Amino acid sequence: MLTKRRMLMCTPLALAVFGAVQAGAKERVIKIEARKFRYAPNVIELKKGEAVVLELTALDFPHGFSLPDFKIRADLVIGKPVRVKLKPEEAGQFGFLCDNFCGSGHEEMAGTLIVKA
């Protein structure tokens, strides 16, 4: 009886601790630099269902970032990191690009997000 009582008393505590550990799990941060006329890195690999934060920083010009398949768009101000959360639920290859004209060569400023199952 005493053991059963202890178990009943400890169960809510264990669940609370487990919940705190789950809630404390941090998303992976992927730093991406934008400069004329490229992103670095320009290929990003993720696992399906993996929550990440893309931290984008423009180094030389006010660039744009567009990941159309995920309806993500951001303006990048020089030297100011912009954080975008992403949790892909579908495997495949998805293109991203600069959507703020940054000069001759702008059309080449693109990359690929690869989501593995």
Domain enclosing residue 46, as ranges: 27-116
82 within domain boundaries: yes
* CATH number of the structural domain spanning residue 37: 2.60.40.420
Return d(Cα 105, Cα 13) in angstroms, integer: 58
Residue 14 lies in a domain: no
Number of domains in the chain: 1
pLDDT tens digit sequence for 26-37 = 899 999 999 999
Strand partners, 56: 32, 82
E strands, the chain, in order: 28-35, 38-40, 43-47, 52-58, 64-67, 72-75, 82-86, 92-97, 110-116
Give the separation between CA 112 and CA 117, rounded to whole angstroms: 16
Is 1 inside any structural domain? no
Residue 2 lies in a domain: no
- Please tell me the pTM assigned to this model: 0.76
User: For the chain, what is the mean pLDDT?
Assistant: 86
